[in-house]
Amino acid sequence: MDPVSVGLVGCGSISDAYLSNDAFDCYEIVACGDLDRERAEATAAEYGIDARPVDDLLSDPAIEAIVNLTPPSVHAQVCTSALEADTHVYTEKPFATTVADARAVVDLAAERDLLVGSAPDTVLGAALQTCRTVVEEGRIGRPIGATAIWTSPGHEAWHPDPDLYYGEGGGPLFDMGPYYVTALVSLLGPATRVAGSVGAADDERTIGSGPREGESIDVSVPTHESGVVDFDSGAIATLLTSFDVQGSTLPEPAFELYGTEGTLALPDPNHFDGEVAIHRGGEVEAVEHTHEYVAGRGAGVADLAYAIRDEGWTHRTSGTLALHVLEALAGIRNSSSEGEHVPIEADLELPPALPREFPRS
């Protein structure tokens, strides 16, 4: 197939992961743009592509798809601009900062017969696809529950510009929650309702590295967030994400799925690789990977490209999935303020497992 021509918007540190991935020939990143013109030009020079003003990139009819790596607060805005220019779009997580914005993007894409996709694409990796195979083959029996725990002292300790993690679209649930909940939805099916409690240890954070070291930044989102997710299958998952934990004795990650005949030890959903094992009766069964892809971010862009070119391809990292996951995450926060379970309204038909031959030859 002819490669899909892709423009990248947002040349921050995560852009390197997309630009350096040479595992796919179904798309080609040909240009990049950033509000910081010098950063865009430096990125373009490093990777041998064109640097373009963002508006030009979004409106260029030769660009078939946009990879949106901007801060979360403008994810929906950039996605909307791309779709209004009749351009497909794939965005980093979270899909948007509000469910209403996310739903508007999904609806606009449908109206214009365009595709919109969203990270995380780690569910396309060998480890999590292997987990799905284990579940679908019934090797742990009927899934009844899961535990997902991710904690840290906060990103300001190492990130030179951590503001976005503590502003609109930030917080541990919106930052790390998409990895865990997307993985759980891919294994357990659609969520039906959520409940939660959230809080914050401090209203300021101090940057611990880089040129802004010692600078204080405001915290306007929860930083310790705990939730329960009920699934249509009957399974119940417990979720904890936090920027307020100074140390932990729990394994990393603390992520497992409980079945009537065994427990599936899940890999870190922030990665494409990882060990998979089944625990039962004090015995541990290592599970050999059924899939091969471990090459990193870009798999979701390839998923989008295949769906653009091939009507028979199922778009797996779709906006519909991302909307469903975002509604669950936002629902946990809403539950905390409202004091009751919050139903999940976004419909989701779970796409089939990824073919074992991915990327396609």
Mean residue pLDDT of the chain comes to: 97
Let me know: does 239 contact 228? Beta carbons within 8 Å: yes
Q: Note whether residue 302 is domain-resident.
A: yes
The CATH number linked to 245 is: 3.30.360.10
How many other β-carbons are positioned within 10 Å of the β-carbon of residue 339? 8
Let me know: does 326 contact 300? Beta carbons within 8 Å: no
pLDDT tens digits along 170-194: 999 999 999 999 999 999 999 999 9
Q: Note whether residue 357 is domain-resident.
A: no
Let me know: does 43 contact 35? Beta carbons within 8 Å: no
Write the single-letter amino acid at 130.
T
Q: Note whether residue 11 is domain-resident.
A: yes
228 and 282, same structural domain?
A: yes
Which residue has 């991915």 as its token pair?
A: 358
The pair phi, psi for residue 151, each rounded to 5°, is -135, 155
**What percentage of residues in the chain have a pLDDT greater than 70?**
100
Domain that holds residue 272: 123-286
pLDDT attached to residue 361? 64
230 and 185, same structural domain?
A: yes
275 and 164, same structural domain?
A: yes
65 and 176, same structural domain?
A: no
In DSSP terms, 91 is beta-bridged to 68, 118
pLDDT attached to residue 1? 87
Q: Is residue 99's pLDDT more than 80?
A: yes
pLDDT attached to residue 234? 97
88 and 168, same structural domain?
A: no
58 and 169, same structural domain?
A: no
The pair phi, psi for residue 90, each rounded to 5°, is -125, 130
Q: Which of 9, 13, 4, 189 is nearest to 81 (CA)?
A: 9
262 and 146, same structural domain?
A: yes
Contacts of 270 (CB under 8 A, 6+ apart): 120, 122, 176, 179
Reduced to 3 states, what is the DSSP secondary structure of residue 297? coil
Write the single-letter amino acid at 251.
P
258 and 139, same structural domain?
A: yes
Q: Is residue 358's pLDDT more than 70?
A: yes
Q: Note whether residue 206 is domain-resident.
A: yes
Query: Where are the alpha helices (H) located in the chain, listed in sequence order?
Result: 15-19, 37-47, 54-59, 75-84, 99-111, 126-136, 172-175, 177-188, 299-309, 319-338
Q: Note whether residue 335 is domain-resident.
A: no
Total structural domains within the chain: 2
157 and 46, same structural domain?
A: no
Instruction: Tokens for 313, please give them.
Output: 């391809």
212 and 86, same structural domain?
A: no
The CATH number linked to 83 is: 3.40.50.720
Q: How many helices (H) and strands (E) does the chain have?
A: 10, 17
pLDDT tens digits along 46-61: 999 999 999 999 999 9
In DSSP terms, 343 is beta-bridged to 193
Q: What is the mean pLDDT of residues 13-20?
A: 96
